[in-house]
Amino acid sequence: MTMTTDLPQDLAEREAIAPEPGYWDPVRHVLLDRWSTRIAFVVVILFILAAAFAPWLAPYDPLRQSIVSINKLPSWDHWLGTDQFGRDVMSRMIHGSRNSLIFGLLAPIFAAFFGTILGVTAGYFGGWADRVISRVIDLLMAFPELLLAILIAAALGGSFWNIVVVLTVAFTPGFARVARASTLAVKQEPYVEAAIAAGVRTPLIIFRHIVPNIMAPIVVLMTLWSASSIRIEATLSFLGIGTQPPNPSWGNIIRDGLTNMFATQWPIVAGGMAITIVVLAISIIGDSVRDVLDPENAQ
Protein backbone atom coordinates (compact mmCIF):
# COMPACT_ATOMS: atom_id res chain seq x y z
CA MET A 1 0.00 0.00 0.00
CA THR A 2 1.29 3.40 -0.85
CA MET A 3 1.51 6.17 1.67
CA THR A 4 -1.81 7.90 1.45
CA THR A 5 -3.57 10.06 3.92
CA ASP A 6 -7.23 9.92 4.69
CA LEU A 7 -7.65 13.62 5.18
CA PRO A 8 -11.01 14.75 3.89
CA GLN A 9 -9.78 17.79 2.01
CA ASP A 10 -7.24 15.58 0.31
CA LEU A 11 -10.02 13.20 -0.60
CA ALA A 12 -12.27 15.86 -1.94
CA GLU A 13 -9.63 17.00 -4.38
CA ARG A 14 -8.87 13.72 -6.03
CA GLU A 15 -11.03 10.79 -6.99
CA ALA A 16 -11.15 8.43 -4.03
CA ILE A 17 -10.09 5.41 -6.00
CA ALA A 18 -10.44 4.65 -9.67
CA PRO A 19 -13.87 3.13 -10.21
CA GLU A 20 -13.59 -0.60 -10.51
CA PRO A 21 -15.64 -2.63 -12.98
CA GLY A 22 -19.19 -3.34 -11.88
CA TYR A 23 -20.26 -6.79 -10.81
CA TRP A 24 -21.67 -7.79 -14.19
CA ASP A 25 -19.06 -6.01 -16.30
CA PRO A 26 -16.85 -9.09 -16.67
CA VAL A 27 -19.84 -11.00 -18.02
CA ARG A 28 -20.53 -8.36 -20.62
CA HIS A 29 -16.85 -8.38 -21.35
CA VAL A 30 -16.73 -12.06 -22.17
CA LEU A 31 -20.01 -12.13 -24.06
CA LEU A 32 -18.62 -9.51 -26.40
CA ASP A 33 -14.90 -10.31 -26.40
CA ARG A 34 -14.78 -13.93 -27.52
CA TRP A 35 -15.88 -14.33 -31.10
CA SER A 36 -17.23 -17.83 -30.43
CA THR A 37 -19.44 -16.52 -27.66
CA ARG A 38 -20.54 -13.60 -29.75
CA ILE A 39 -21.67 -15.92 -32.54
CA ALA A 40 -23.39 -18.19 -30.03
CA PHE A 41 -25.18 -15.19 -28.58
CA VAL A 42 -26.41 -14.09 -32.00
CA VAL A 43 -27.57 -17.63 -32.79
CA VAL A 44 -29.56 -17.91 -29.58
CA ILE A 45 -31.14 -14.51 -30.14
CA LEU A 46 -32.12 -15.48 -33.70
CA PHE A 47 -33.78 -18.65 -32.45
CA ILE A 48 -35.60 -16.78 -29.72
CA LEU A 49 -36.85 -14.21 -32.25
CA ALA A 50 -37.99 -17.00 -34.55
CA ALA A 51 -39.91 -18.59 -31.70
CA ALA A 52 -41.41 -15.29 -30.62
CA PHE A 53 -42.63 -14.36 -34.10
CA ALA A 54 -43.45 -17.90 -35.25
CA PRO A 55 -46.99 -17.20 -36.51
CA TRP A 56 -45.71 -14.39 -38.73
CA LEU A 57 -42.52 -16.11 -39.88
CA ALA A 58 -43.86 -19.56 -40.65
CA PRO A 59 -44.98 -19.74 -44.28
CA TYR A 60 -47.66 -22.38 -43.64
CA ASP A 61 -49.91 -23.66 -40.86
CA PRO A 62 -47.71 -26.29 -39.18
CA LEU A 63 -50.68 -28.61 -38.65
CA ARG A 64 -52.26 -28.38 -42.11
CA GLN A 65 -51.97 -31.67 -43.95
CA SER A 66 -51.98 -31.97 -47.72
CA ILE A 67 -52.26 -35.30 -49.51
CA VAL A 68 -50.96 -33.83 -52.76
CA SER A 69 -47.61 -32.71 -51.39
CA ILE A 70 -46.22 -35.47 -49.19
CA ASN A 71 -42.51 -36.25 -48.76
CA LYS A 72 -41.41 -33.35 -50.92
CA LEU A 73 -37.75 -32.46 -51.17
CA PRO A 74 -36.71 -28.89 -50.31
CA SER A 75 -37.86 -26.34 -52.87
CA TRP A 76 -38.66 -22.62 -53.01
CA ASP A 77 -42.17 -23.39 -51.81
CA HIS A 78 -41.04 -25.68 -48.99
CA TRP A 79 -37.50 -24.76 -47.87
CA LEU A 80 -37.11 -27.91 -45.81
CA GLY A 81 -39.53 -30.05 -47.78
CA THR A 82 -42.66 -31.70 -46.42
CA ASP A 83 -43.31 -34.75 -44.23
CA GLN A 84 -45.42 -37.84 -44.75
CA PHE A 85 -48.62 -35.89 -44.12
CA GLY A 86 -47.66 -33.09 -46.47
CA ARG A 87 -46.99 -30.63 -43.66
CA ASP A 88 -44.37 -27.97 -44.26
CA VAL A 89 -41.25 -28.94 -42.25
CA MET A 90 -39.97 -25.37 -42.11
CA SER A 91 -43.20 -24.17 -40.50
CA ARG A 92 -43.18 -27.08 -38.09
CA MET A 93 -39.60 -26.30 -37.14
CA ILE A 94 -40.40 -22.66 -36.47
CA HIS A 95 -43.44 -23.48 -34.39
CA GLY A 96 -41.60 -26.34 -32.73
CA SER A 97 -38.92 -23.95 -31.56
CA ARG A 98 -41.53 -22.39 -29.31
CA ASN A 99 -42.05 -25.62 -27.42
CA SER A 100 -38.36 -26.43 -27.31
CA LEU A 101 -37.07 -23.01 -26.28
CA ILE A 102 -39.78 -22.29 -23.79
CA PHE A 103 -38.80 -25.40 -21.88
CA GLY A 104 -35.19 -24.40 -22.16
CA LEU A 105 -35.98 -21.13 -20.42
CA LEU A 106 -38.90 -21.94 -18.15
CA ALA A 107 -37.63 -25.07 -16.45
CA PRO A 108 -34.26 -23.60 -15.37
CA ILE A 109 -35.98 -20.42 -14.15
CA PHE A 110 -38.47 -22.35 -12.02
CA ALA A 111 -35.78 -24.73 -10.83
CA ALA A 112 -33.51 -21.79 -9.92
CA PHE A 113 -36.38 -20.19 -7.98
CA PHE A 114 -37.32 -23.25 -5.94
CA GLY A 115 -33.75 -24.49 -5.65
CA THR A 116 -32.59 -21.13 -4.27
CA ILE A 117 -35.38 -21.08 -1.70
CA LEU A 118 -34.56 -24.60 -0.54
CA GLY A 119 -30.79 -24.12 -0.62
CA VAL A 120 -30.81 -20.79 1.22
CA THR A 121 -33.20 -22.16 3.85
CA ALA A 122 -31.00 -25.19 4.42
CA GLY A 123 -27.77 -23.20 4.40
CA TYR A 124 -28.86 -20.26 6.52
CA PHE A 125 -30.90 -21.98 9.21
CA GLY A 126 -28.98 -25.26 9.38
CA GLY A 127 -30.19 -27.77 11.94
CA TRP A 128 -33.11 -30.02 11.09
CA ALA A 129 -34.21 -27.86 8.13
CA ASP A 130 -30.80 -28.48 6.60
CA ARG A 131 -30.93 -32.19 7.33
CA VAL A 132 -34.39 -32.69 5.81
CA ILE A 133 -33.73 -30.59 2.71
CA SER A 134 -30.28 -32.08 2.13
CA ARG A 135 -31.58 -35.63 2.33
CA VAL A 136 -34.39 -34.88 -0.14
CA ILE A 137 -31.83 -33.30 -2.48
CA ASP A 138 -29.60 -36.35 -2.18
CA LEU A 139 -32.56 -38.58 -2.94
CA LEU A 140 -33.44 -36.65 -6.11
CA MET A 141 -29.79 -36.36 -7.15
CA ALA A 142 -29.45 -40.13 -6.99
CA PHE A 143 -31.63 -40.34 -10.14
CA PRO A 144 -30.14 -39.19 -13.42
CA GLU A 145 -32.17 -36.19 -14.65
CA LEU A 146 -33.41 -37.97 -17.72
CA LEU A 147 -34.52 -41.05 -15.79
CA LEU A 148 -36.35 -38.88 -13.29
CA ALA A 149 -37.97 -36.95 -16.11
CA ILE A 150 -39.12 -40.14 -17.87
CA LEU A 151 -40.43 -41.48 -14.58
CA ILE A 152 -42.55 -38.43 -13.81
CA ALA A 153 -43.65 -37.90 -17.42
CA ALA A 154 -44.75 -41.52 -17.60
CA ALA A 155 -46.70 -41.16 -14.37
CA LEU A 156 -48.32 -37.78 -15.11
CA GLY A 157 -48.54 -37.81 -18.91
CA GLY A 158 -46.95 -35.45 -21.37
CA SER A 159 -48.88 -32.17 -21.23
CA PHE A 160 -47.01 -28.87 -21.47
CA TRP A 161 -47.11 -28.07 -17.76
CA ASN A 162 -46.34 -31.63 -16.81
CA ILE A 163 -43.10 -31.45 -18.75
CA VAL A 164 -42.24 -28.14 -17.12
CA VAL A 165 -42.90 -29.71 -13.72
CA VAL A 166 -40.84 -32.74 -14.66
CA LEU A 167 -37.84 -30.69 -15.69
CA THR A 168 -38.19 -28.34 -12.73
CA VAL A 169 -38.18 -31.24 -10.29
CA ALA A 170 -35.23 -32.77 -12.10
CA PHE A 171 -33.17 -29.57 -11.98
CA THR A 172 -34.14 -28.18 -8.57
CA PRO A 173 -31.74 -30.34 -6.53
CA GLY A 174 -28.71 -29.04 -8.44
CA PHE A 175 -29.70 -25.43 -7.79
CA ALA A 176 -30.52 -26.18 -4.17
CA ARG A 177 -27.13 -27.75 -3.62
CA VAL A 178 -25.27 -24.82 -5.18
CA ALA A 179 -27.42 -22.29 -3.29
CA ARG A 180 -26.81 -24.11 -0.02
CA ALA A 181 -23.05 -24.22 -0.46
CA SER A 182 -22.91 -20.55 -1.48
CA THR A 183 -25.12 -19.57 1.44
CA LEU A 184 -22.86 -21.37 3.88
CA ALA A 185 -19.92 -19.40 2.48
CA VAL A 186 -21.67 -16.01 2.41
CA LYS A 187 -23.11 -16.53 5.90
CA GLN A 188 -19.55 -16.47 7.25
CA GLU A 189 -18.89 -13.04 5.74
CA PRO A 190 -18.39 -10.29 8.31
CA TYR A 191 -21.02 -8.12 6.63
CA VAL A 192 -23.68 -10.69 7.52
CA GLU A 193 -22.58 -10.56 11.14
CA ALA A 194 -22.60 -6.77 10.84
CA ALA A 195 -26.21 -6.88 9.67
CA ILE A 196 -27.15 -9.13 12.60
CA ALA A 197 -25.34 -6.77 14.98
CA ALA A 198 -27.22 -3.85 13.42
CA GLY A 199 -30.46 -5.57 14.39
CA VAL A 200 -31.66 -6.38 10.88
CA ARG A 201 -34.46 -8.95 10.79
CA THR A 202 -33.62 -12.39 9.47
CA PRO A 203 -35.76 -12.29 6.29
CA LEU A 204 -34.16 -8.98 5.33
CA ILE A 205 -30.69 -10.35 5.96
CA ILE A 206 -31.47 -13.21 3.61
CA PHE A 207 -32.92 -11.08 0.82
CA ARG A 208 -30.55 -8.15 1.17
CA HIS A 209 -27.25 -9.74 2.06
CA ILE A 210 -27.35 -13.44 1.19
CA VAL A 211 -29.36 -13.79 -2.03
CA PRO A 212 -27.66 -11.03 -4.07
CA ASN A 213 -24.28 -12.52 -3.24
CA ILE A 214 -25.09 -16.07 -4.28
CA MET A 215 -26.73 -15.20 -7.61
CA ALA A 216 -23.61 -15.58 -9.76
CA PRO A 217 -23.29 -19.38 -9.57
CA ILE A 218 -27.07 -19.72 -9.87
CA VAL A 219 -27.05 -17.76 -13.12
CA VAL A 220 -24.23 -19.92 -14.47
CA LEU A 221 -26.20 -23.02 -13.64
CA MET A 222 -29.24 -21.57 -15.38
CA THR A 223 -27.37 -21.09 -18.65
CA LEU A 224 -25.79 -24.52 -18.47
CA TRP A 225 -29.10 -26.19 -17.77
CA SER A 226 -31.03 -24.31 -20.43
CA ALA A 227 -29.09 -26.48 -22.84
CA SER A 228 -29.82 -29.65 -20.88
CA SER A 229 -33.45 -28.66 -20.63
CA ILE A 230 -33.83 -28.31 -24.41
CA ARG A 231 -32.04 -31.58 -24.87
CA ILE A 232 -34.21 -33.44 -22.37
CA GLU A 233 -37.42 -31.99 -23.77
CA ALA A 234 -36.36 -33.19 -27.21
CA THR A 235 -35.55 -36.60 -25.78
CA LEU A 236 -38.91 -36.88 -24.03
CA SER A 237 -40.76 -35.77 -27.15
CA PHE A 238 -38.75 -38.21 -29.22
CA LEU A 239 -39.72 -40.98 -26.83
CA GLY A 240 -43.35 -39.91 -27.14
CA ILE A 241 -43.85 -38.68 -23.59
CA GLY A 242 -43.03 -35.02 -24.23
CA THR A 243 -44.91 -32.62 -26.48
CA GLN A 244 -47.76 -34.61 -27.99
CA PRO A 245 -48.39 -34.73 -31.73
CA PRO A 246 -49.72 -33.11 -33.78
CA ASN A 247 -48.16 -30.17 -31.90
CA PRO A 248 -44.63 -29.85 -33.23
CA SER A 249 -41.50 -29.85 -31.15
CA TRP A 250 -38.01 -30.58 -32.38
CA GLY A 251 -38.03 -33.90 -30.57
CA ASN A 252 -41.25 -35.22 -32.08
CA ILE A 253 -40.36 -33.88 -35.54
CA ILE A 254 -37.39 -36.25 -35.41
CA ARG A 255 -39.65 -39.01 -34.11
CA ASP A 256 -42.09 -38.53 -36.99
CA GLY A 257 -39.18 -38.33 -39.39
CA LEU A 258 -37.70 -41.55 -38.09
CA THR A 259 -40.77 -43.59 -38.96
CA ASN A 260 -40.65 -42.10 -42.44
CA MET A 261 -36.88 -42.04 -42.82
CA PHE A 262 -36.73 -43.84 -46.14
CA ALA A 263 -39.19 -41.49 -47.83
CA THR A 264 -37.58 -38.20 -46.74
CA GLN A 265 -34.65 -37.44 -44.45
CA TRP A 266 -35.23 -33.71 -44.13
CA PRO A 267 -37.31 -33.62 -40.94
CA ILE A 268 -34.60 -35.59 -39.09
CA VAL A 269 -31.82 -33.42 -40.44
CA ALA A 270 -33.65 -30.19 -39.65
CA GLY A 271 -34.65 -31.24 -36.13
CA GLY A 272 -31.24 -32.62 -35.31
CA MET A 273 -29.45 -29.56 -36.65
CA ALA A 274 -31.67 -27.16 -34.72
CA ILE A 275 -31.17 -29.01 -31.43
CA THR A 276 -27.42 -29.30 -32.01
CA ILE A 277 -26.97 -25.65 -32.90
CA VAL A 278 -29.03 -24.25 -30.03
CA VAL A 279 -27.62 -26.59 -27.38
CA LEU A 280 -24.10 -25.89 -28.59
CA ALA A 281 -24.66 -22.12 -28.61
CA ILE A 282 -26.14 -22.06 -25.12
CA SER A 283 -23.36 -24.29 -23.82
CA ILE A 284 -20.74 -21.97 -25.27
CA ILE A 285 -22.39 -19.00 -23.56
CA GLY A 286 -22.70 -20.96 -20.32
CA ASP A 287 -19.02 -21.91 -20.40
CA SER A 288 -17.99 -18.29 -20.92
CA VAL A 289 -20.18 -17.08 -18.10
CA ARG A 290 -18.79 -19.76 -15.83
CA ASP A 291 -15.22 -18.86 -16.75
CA VAL A 292 -15.83 -15.26 -15.83
CA LEU A 293 -17.70 -15.80 -12.60
CA ASP A 294 -15.42 -18.55 -11.32
CA PRO A 295 -13.00 -16.81 -8.94
CA GLU A 296 -10.34 -19.42 -9.81
CA ASN A 297 -10.27 -18.05 -13.34
CA ALA A 298 -10.51 -14.36 -12.50
CA GLN A 299 -8.31 -12.37 -14.87
Partner 1 sequence: MTVLMTIDGLTKSFADTSMRLGPKRPPVRAVDGVSFHIMQGEVLAVVGESGCGKSTLGRLLLRLIEPTSGTVTFEGQNMSVMAPEQVRQMRQRMQMVFQDPFGSLSPRRTIANIIAEPMDTFGLSGTGKARREKVAALLQMVGLPSIYMDRKPRQFSGGQRQRIGIARAISVDPTFIVADEPVSALDVSIQAQIINLMQDLQQDKGFSFLFIAHDLAVVRHIADRVAVMYLGRIVEIGTKGQVYNAPHHPYTEALLSAAPHPEPGRRETRIILQGDVPSPSNVPSGCAFRTRCPLAQDICAREQPALREVAPGLNTACHFAAAHPITRHRAQA
Q: Which residues contact partner 1 by CB under 8 A?
A: 1, 3-8, 11-12, 16-17, 19-20, 23, 189-191, 193-201, 204, 208-209, 212-213
Min separation Cβ 195 and partner 1, Å: 7
Give Cα separations from 138 to 108, 126, 146, 174, 284 (angstroms).
Answer: 19, 16, 16, 10, 29
Q: Please say which residue, 188 or 297, places its beta carbon nearer to partner 1.
A: 188
Q: Please say which residue, 67 or 298, places its beta carbon nearer to partner 1.
A: 298
For residues 182 and 221, the answer to whether their CB atoms sit within 8 Å is no
Those residues whose C-beta lies under 8 Å from the C-beta of residue 133, and which sit 6 or more positions away, are 118, 119, 121, 122, 176, 180
Using CA atoms, how far apart are residues 42 and 55, in angstroms rounded to an integer? Answer: 21
The alpha-helical segments, DSSP class H, found in the chain are 8-13, 25-33, 35-52, 54-57, 89-125, 127-141, 145-156, 160-187, 190-197, 202-205, 211-239, 250-259, 266-293
Min separation Cβ 201 and partner 1, Å: 7
Closest CA to 90 of 99, 79, 101: 79
Min separation Cβ 12 and partner 1, Å: 5
Q: Please say which residue, 11 or 132, places its beta carbon nearer to partner 1.
A: 11
Q: Please say which residue, 1 or 68, places its beta carbon nearer to partner 1.
A: 1
Q: Please say which residue, 10 or 77, places its beta carbon nearer to partner 1.
A: 10
Min separation Cβ 289 and partner 1, Å: 18
Min separation Cβ 116 and partner 1, Å: 16
